Amino acid sequence: MSQVFFWYNGKLIQSNCIELAIDDPGLLYGAMVFTTLRVYQQSLAHPRTSWENHCLRLRNSLETLGWSLPNWERLQYGAEQLLPAFPVLRMVIFPDGREWITGRFLPVDLIERQHQGVTAWLADVPECRRSLPTHKTGNYLGGWLALQKAQQLGAKEAILVDDRGSWLETSTGNLWGWKEGCWWTPPIAAGILPGVVRSQLIHWFQQNGSVVQELPWDRDLVKDFEAIAYTNSVMEVIPIHTVLQSPQPLVYPLLSKPLEQLRSLFL
């Protein structure tokens, strides 16, 4: 469809503008939670779509913040109105339970990124810290600023850090590092988003008898990794071959066997 359309508060709206009250806390403060999911085979029921896990994360955030839950049946119905046209849906819930769903397409260079990897910039500046990092709120300015700066430097992603300089996550996904025959990922307690794909991968590894090391990524640990990548529900697995940092970049090989192990979740 050539027309711009989205779902908002129980209605399918053909427009590129949304109408919000000037005192809406979502507009004023970014008071909203959201999740972004990739819809496989135009089906919310497809296992890789993970519809229930995305809704569960929304529910957990809403309950933690003390906000109203949405009408879940209406949320699903709204998503179903968009999925024939878009492979990616972004679902937003406002504090009063209103739902807002928009659609978009996959990046045109997704396959290239998945196979050739990307360069990331280490966002070691205070302005790029995320607010309430264990929740996907509308106040995503820190991550957005980090990604904009990374792109200005010719990188495709940004890696966020804490006050001590330990790596946390990318601006859009969870980090994975390979060394000593297993995968390592920063723990949730470090202040990262509990990604849907991250949780699925950890569960898959545990079910298959593999070890995942959940430890903070300090400056010494990241130098020892043999390969690194990031994951999210839209991009799946993206290797990182270069990290721009001072005084010199870190370079990581694209190890096919470990990366295929990560990708196996999506086969």
The domains of the chain are located at 5-104, 110-266
Q: What is the mean pLDDT of residues 30-55?
A: 97
Given a contact cutoff of 8 angstroms between Cβ atoms, the answer to whether 218 and 156 are in contact is no
Question: What are the C-alpha distances in Å from 91 to residues 57, 81, 102?
Answer: 12, 13, 7
The mean of the pLDDT values for the chain is: 96
Q: What is the pLDDT of residue 4?
A: 87
Backbone angle region of 79, left / alpha / beta, with phi > 0 → left and psi within -120 to 50 → alpha: alpha
Please tell me the pTM assigned to this model: 0.95
Q: What is the pLDDT of residues 111-159, one digit of tens each?
A: 999 999 999 999 999 999 998 999 999 999 999 999 999 999 999 999 9
Asked if pLDDT for residue 2 goes beyond 60, the answer is no
pLDDT at 1: 41
Distances (CA, A) of 168 to 128, 160, 215: 12, 6, 10
Residue % of the chain over a pLDDT of 70: 99
Supply the pLDDT for residue 3. 62
Q: Per-residue pLDDT tens for 230-258?
A: 999 999 999 999 999 999 999 999 999 99
Query: What's the CATH class of domain 5-104?
Result: alpha beta
Task: Please state, for a pLDDT cut of 90, what percent of the chain lies above it.
Answer: 94
Among candidate residues 120, 117, 125, the one with its CA nearest the CA of residue 142 = 125
pLDDT, tens digit, for every residue of 186-206? 999 999 999 999 999 999 999
Q: Does domain 110-266 have CATH number 3.20.10.10?
A: yes
